[in-house]
């Protein structure tokens, strides 16, 4: 059983409280969308639950072990993390970038075991990168690059995936393609926690929605239960029409 359980997490930076008393659970077989306006504390919550950011209080268990006590390699084998900022320092080939996903297994680009090479090939196929594996990553479009980063995360073969705005700045088609890949990962038994700003996209793909505002989790449940016109007004300060899983935003309040 692989899961991530955060209990009463708080994160502070100086005097500001970035996350207050947040609890959630991510298990295999579910796609969870984490929603909230800019500055609500989504990224801090993710980082703190992964053990990458210092917590003021609370704890987070990855498969029953405190994530702060795991070594980076142990953590990377249990959960793949796709941060919001995804700079590439060098013009590596696409295959080498994907191969970096195998770092936690002792692999390095150009030095992959049979098992590593196999995982890399599968990720490349899954994200449809076959036609440009040997291209340098700095020659790719934003959409192609986003798929490369997804492949890198999938190559790790971890049961859980945490992705911070994986579809930011992508055209609609690429947004759907990326979400389809994550959905496919979940359908095969993975668990994914994804930060999204497109509510319609989140409602369409997510099994569960976690809503954050002012450093706190204010709601956690299936779209049918948590997505409402009142919630849109409360969380984002927008007028919206909600019917079933579809949302239409009409303007700021």
Are 202 and 34 in contact by the 8 Å Cβ rule? The answer is: no
For residues 73 and 233, which CB has a smaller minimum distance to other proteins in the complex?
73
Regarding beta strands 216-221 and 238-243, do their DSSP bridges make them parallel or antiparallel, or are they unpaired?
A: unpaired
Structure tokens at 113: 């075991």
Question: By CB under 8 A, is residue 142 in contact with other proteins?
Answer: no
**CA dihedral over 73, 75, 78, 83, signed as positive or negative:** negative
Cβ 90 to other proteins shortest distance, Å:
4
Cβ 206 to other proteins shortest distance, Å:
22
Among 34, 45, 48, 97, binds other proteins (CB under 8 A): 97
Question: By CB under 8 A, is residue 110 in contact with other proteins?
Answer: yes
For residues 39 and 72, which CB has a smaller minimum distance to other proteins in the complex?
72
Question: By CB under 8 A, is residue 14 in contact with other proteins?
Answer: no
The length of the chain, given as a count of residues: 253
Among 108, 224, 233, 253, binds other proteins (CB under 8 A): 108
Phi and psi angles of residue 193, each rounded to the nearest 5 degrees, phi first = -115, 120
Q: Using CB under 8 A, which of the segments 77-85, 167-175, 178-186, 234-242 binds other proteins? A: 77-85
Question: By CB under 8 A, is residue 159 in contact with other proteins?
Answer: no
Question: By CB under 8 A, is residue 52 in contact with other proteins?
Answer: yes
Question: By CB under 8 A, is residue 37 in contact with other proteins?
Answer: no
DSSP for 205-217 reads: H-SEEEEEETTEE
CA distance 226 to 232: 10
Q: Using CB under 8 A, which of the segments 32-40, 101-109, 116-124, 229-237 binds other proteins? A: 101-109
Cβ 107 to other proteins shortest distance, Å:
9
Are 194 and 34 in contact by the 8 Å Cβ rule? The answer is: yes
136-to-87, 88, 114, 145 alpha-carbon distances in Å: 14, 11, 24, 10
Q: x/- string (CB under 8 A) for other proteins, residues 56-75?
A: ---------------xxx-x
Alpha helices, DSSP H only, in the chain?
42-50, 72-78, 94-99, 114-126, 142-155, 172-187, 199-205, 223-226, 229-236
Cβ 204 to other proteins shortest distance, Å:
27
N-terminal to C-terminal alpha carbon distance within the chain: 44
Q: Using CB under 8 A, which of the segments 105-113, 116-124, 172-180, 183-191 binds other proteins? A: 105-113
Return residues touching other proteins (CB under 8 A): 50, 52, 71-73, 75-77, 80-83, 85-93, 96-97, 100-101, 103-104, 108-110, 136, 138, 152, 156
């Amino acid at each position: 059983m692989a899961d991530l359980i955060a209990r009463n997490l708080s994160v502070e930076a100086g005097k500001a409280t970035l996350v207050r008393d947040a609890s959630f659970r991510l298990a295999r077989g579910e796609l969870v969308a984490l929603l909230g306006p800019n500055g609500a504390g989504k990224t801090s919550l993710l980082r703190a639950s992964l053990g990458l950011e210092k917590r003021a209080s609370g704890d987070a268990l990855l498969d029953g072990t405190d994530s702060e006590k795991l070594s980076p390699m142990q953590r990377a084998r249990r959960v793949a993390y796709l941060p919001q900022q995804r700079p590439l320092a060098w013009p590596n080939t696409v295959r080498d970038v994907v191969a970096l996903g195998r770092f936690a297994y002792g692999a390095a680009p150009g030095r992959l075991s049979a098992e590593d090479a196999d995982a890399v090939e599968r990720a490349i196929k899954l994200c449809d990168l076959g036609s440009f594996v040997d291209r340098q990553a700095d020659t790719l479009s934003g959409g192609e690059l986003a798929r490369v980063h997804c492949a890198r995360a999938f190559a790790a073969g971890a049961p859980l995936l945490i992705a911070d705005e994986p579809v930011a700045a992508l055209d609609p088609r690429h947004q759907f393609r990326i979400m389809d890949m994550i959905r496919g990962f979940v359908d095969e038994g993975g668990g994914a926690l994804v930060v999204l700003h497109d509510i319609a996209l989140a409602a369409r793909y997510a099994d569960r929605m976690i809503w954050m505002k002012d450093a706190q989790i204010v709601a956690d449940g299936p779209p049918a239960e948590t997505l409402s016109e009142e919630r849109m007004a409360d969380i984002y300060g927008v007028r919206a029409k909600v019917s079933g899983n579809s949302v239409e935003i009409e303007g700021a309040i």
